[in-house]
Amino acid sequence: MSSSSTPGAPAALACYRHPDRYTYVRCQRCGRAICGECQTPAPVGVICPECMRQQRASAPRTKPAILTRFTGPGKPVVTYVIIAVCVIVFIAQWITGLGSGPVTSNLLYAGIFGYPSGEVVQTSSGAILASFEPWRMITAAFVHANLLHIALNMYTLWIFGIVLEPMLGRVRYALLFVISAIAGSVGVYLLDSPAQGVVGASGAIFGMMAALLIIQRHIGGPIRQLLVLVGINLVISFLPGFGIAWQAHVGGLVGGAIVGLIYMQTRQRSRRPLQIILIAALVVVLVVVGNWHAIIG
């Protein structure tokens, strides 16, 4: 097959991908002849499939709009994750039996889980058999007693999370939540009956309140309204008939205050190694205190 041409005009060339097709069009980038099927419109001219693949491979990766909305800079991603985990756990609780189901019973915390496994512990309600399960010091924070319980806790977590997470950064904020949850369990271990099971994120939330109070105090921010809010919530914790584990609230409050103080005293970049050491030491102390009977037993 031969190509026809007009005198003075460029000759038609075979498409590099379809040799039986002739064209006058060339790729704007590499200059190869391309037929209509192989042409992709570009800002100037057209480009061939190979150049298009190279262009796509070198183009910067972009996240879907929904991911950017929820995970972009300054977004409280850790808060989203904590809320999502609590909701998923609550759905599992609901499906399997909310109060006495296996999800609740395997994740709640009681002082008895800080004793050596197999030890018989005498309580006001009788003798119980201990089981050493220290991970429950954290898992209890993701379990809730009822719909109102989780709704109030998640709303409060959201209110404080959107302030604290951008202020501290995601890693330090996550550590604050976890350490406050552990401190809440330590409060239950020290101040409540070993047989009394507790659930809920309120101990960790009280820790967030205390940390924000310490941070605001150090940076010269307003603290009066926050003091009133913490005081009201603490008083409510002690009201009879509500079934609130005030021990967890006190423990979380103390733990969160210590974390906030560490963050403020070591906020200079040069003191970050000291911050890591102090936070790690605090975690070790809390875990040892919360499992003292198992450790010395």
Same domain for 40 and 116?
no
- Alpha helix ranges (H) inside 192-271: 202-219, 224-237, 246-265
In a domain, 97, yes or no: yes
Task: Measure the CA–CA gap between 292 and 296, rounded to whole angstroms.
Answer: 6
What is the average per-residue pLDDT within 283-290? 97
Q: What is the pLDDT of residue 18?
A: 87
Q: What is the pLDDT of residue 97?
A: 84
What is the average per-residue pLDDT within 37-66? 77
Same domain for 54 and 79?
no
pLDDT tens-digit readout, 89-140: 999 999 998 877 899 999 999 999 999 998 888 887 788 999 999 999 999 9
Count structural domains, the chain. Answer: 2
Same domain for 220 and 278?
yes
Same domain for 45 and 84?
no
pTM of the predicted structure, to 2 decimals: 0.76
Same domain for 181 and 125?
yes
Residue pair 186/289 in contact by the 8 Å Cβ criterion:
yes
What is the average per-residue pLDDT within 174-187? 97
In a domain, 293, yes or no: no
**What SS3 class is residue 239?**
coil
Same domain for 110 and 246?
yes
What is the average per-residue pLDDT within 151-158? 94
In a domain, 295, yes or no: no
Range of the domain at 28: 13-58
Same domain for 192 and 262?
yes
CATH number for position 106: 1.20.1540.10
Same domain for 49 and 82?
no
Same domain for 81 and 53?
no
What is the average per-residue pLDDT within 70-74? 59
Same domain for 37 and 109?
no
> Judging by beta carbons within 10 Å of its beta carbon (0-12, 13-18, 19+), is residue 235 exposed, middle or buried?
exposed
In a domain, 39, yes or no: yes
Residue pair 258/279 in contact by the 8 Å Cβ criterion:
no
Same domain for 31 and 83?
no
In a domain, 6, yes or no: no
What is the average per-residue pLDDT within 234-238? 85
pLDDT tens-digit readout, 248-280: 999 999 999 999 999 999 999 899 999 999 999
Same domain for 121 and 33?
no
Q: For residue 5, what pLDDT band results from cuts at 50, 70 and 90?
A: very low
